[in-house]
């Protein structure tokens, strides 16, 4: 499945309205915020149809998935938006993650726990905002993202240490830039290790650079750490490959169109996370050019001044590196 879908779930008393655009969406929040009610309404509609008194409006079919037979039911479902509740113990299993990876459905998971086996985006973690009878979905980390907007920043962040999520091409690029600027640069060796590296850091002003497309499971702990250590900041683009595409180094209407509404191009069954999609696009559009890209070793053309500056200018609202 690909695309963005508007969902309305309502009965005579309540109305939920929201958009789903990725294969994995997380709904979080404390008790009595409407999560369980939303799930119950969808479950009732799936079981009883029109007699449930619940109206679901969406281009795609919506239903819940639960119970011990979930492994038998899931492979039979195609092109659904599937809602799951945290009471299902299988959510945290590697087996469930593997089946999500192979599925052509979208999944909306209602949970207060982190799900480390699933690469969900920081931008697709929501809480439910209630206004009278009507509900919409409000991003849990909304304030966190205002930190990276021009309106909220009093000035650019000038870190004396940068921690990059992993040791691939993105780290090579930022390590090169940091050496030029006299800034310490290290790699965490994976998103799950970022917190440990931060705790061991002695930097006075630390910037974490990680793939926003898949760092969702780590965001709760990272956000709590940032509240205690206000000189720590995060820059979370979709991925390093997204940064390159966004920089304009690869020209063309097709690339611009993809960047404007990627959900219309990303087939969920083919790409477990958007990071993988942007890597595929970059490899495709740079093949047989001087900017050819590989993930594990960065082409030296990206260290050239023009290329380097184009990438860093995308970050200029966040960090003083250009």
125-131 and 24-27 strand pairing: parallel
Give me the pLDDT at residue 22, please: 95
Give me the pLDDT at residue 317, please: 65
Give me the pLDDT at residue 135, please: 67
Helices and strands, number each (H, E), in the chain: 11, 13
Give me the pLDDT at residue 158, please: 81
> In which order are the strands placed within the sheet that holds 80-85?
55-57, 5-10, 15-20, 134-139, 125-131, 24-27, 106-110, 80-85, 61-64
Give me the pLDDT at residue 246, please: 95
Give me the pLDDT at residue 143, please: 23
The one-digit pLDDT tens for each residue of the chain (322 residues) are 999 999 999 888 888 888 999 999 998 866 656 788 899 999 999 888 888 899 999 999 999 999 999 999 999 999 999 999 998 999 999 999 999 999 999 999 999 889 999 999 888 888 877 766 666 666 443 222 222 233 333 346 788 899 999 889 999 999 999 999 899 999 999 999 999 999 998 878 899 999 999 998 998 888 888 888 878 888 889 999 999 999 999 988 999 999 999 999 999 999 999 999 999 999 999 999 999 999 989 999 999 999 999 999 988 766 666 5
Give me the pLDDT at residue 156, please: 62
Closest CA to 191 of 120, 126, 111: 120
Q: Please tell me the total number of residues recorded for the chain in this structure.
A: 322
Closest CA to 246 of 311, 317, 174: 311
CA 12 to chain centroid: 34
Give the start-to-end residue ranges of the domains of the chain.
5-140, 146-314
Give me the pLDDT at residue 152, please: 35
pTM comes to: 0.89
The secondary structure of residue 66, as a DSSP letter, is -
Give me the pLDDT at residue 15, please: 87
Cα 245 from Cα 19, distance rounded (Å): 25
- Provide Rg for the chain, Cα atoms: 21
């Amino acid at each position: 499945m690909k695309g963005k879908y508007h969902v309305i779930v309502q009965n005579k008393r309540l109305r939920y309205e929201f958009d789903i655009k990725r294969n994995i969406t997380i709904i979080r929040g404390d008790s009595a915020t409407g999560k369980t009610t939303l799930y119950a309404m969808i479950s009732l509609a799936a079981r009883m149809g029109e007699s449930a008194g619940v109206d679901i409006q969406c281009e795609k079919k919506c239903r819940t998935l639960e119970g011990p037979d979930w492994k038998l039911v899931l492979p039979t479902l195609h092109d659904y938006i599937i809602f799951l509740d945290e009471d299902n113990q299988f959510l945290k299993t590697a087996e469930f993650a593997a089946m999500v990876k192979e599925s052509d459905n979208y999944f909306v998971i209602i949970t207060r726990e982190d799900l480390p086996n699933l690469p969900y985006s920081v931008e697709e973690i929501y809480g439910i905002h209630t206004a009278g009878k009507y509900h919409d979905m409000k991003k849990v980390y909304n304030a966190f993202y205002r930190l990276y907007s021009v309106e909220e920043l009093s000035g650019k962040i000038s870190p004396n240490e940068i921690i990059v999520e992993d040791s691939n091409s993105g780290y090579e690029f930022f390590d090169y830039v940091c050496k030029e600027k006299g800034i310490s640069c290290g790699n965490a060796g994976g998103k799950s290790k970022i917190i440990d590296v931060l705790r061991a850091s002695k930097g006075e002003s630390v910037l974490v650079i990680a793939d926003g497309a898949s760092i969702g499971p780590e965001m709760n702990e990272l956000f709590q750490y940032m509240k205690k250590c206000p000189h720590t900041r995060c820059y979370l683009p979709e991925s390093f490959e997204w940064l390159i595409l966004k920089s304009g180094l690869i020209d063309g209407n097709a690339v611009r169109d993809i960047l404007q509404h990627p959900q219309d191009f990303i087939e969920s069954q083919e790409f477990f996370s958007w990071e993988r999609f942007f890597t595929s696009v970059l490899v495709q559009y740079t093949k047989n050019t001087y900017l050819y890209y590989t993930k594990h070793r960065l082409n030296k053309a990206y260290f050239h001044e023009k290329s380097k500056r184009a990438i860093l200018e995308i970050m200029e609202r966040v960090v003083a590196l250009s």
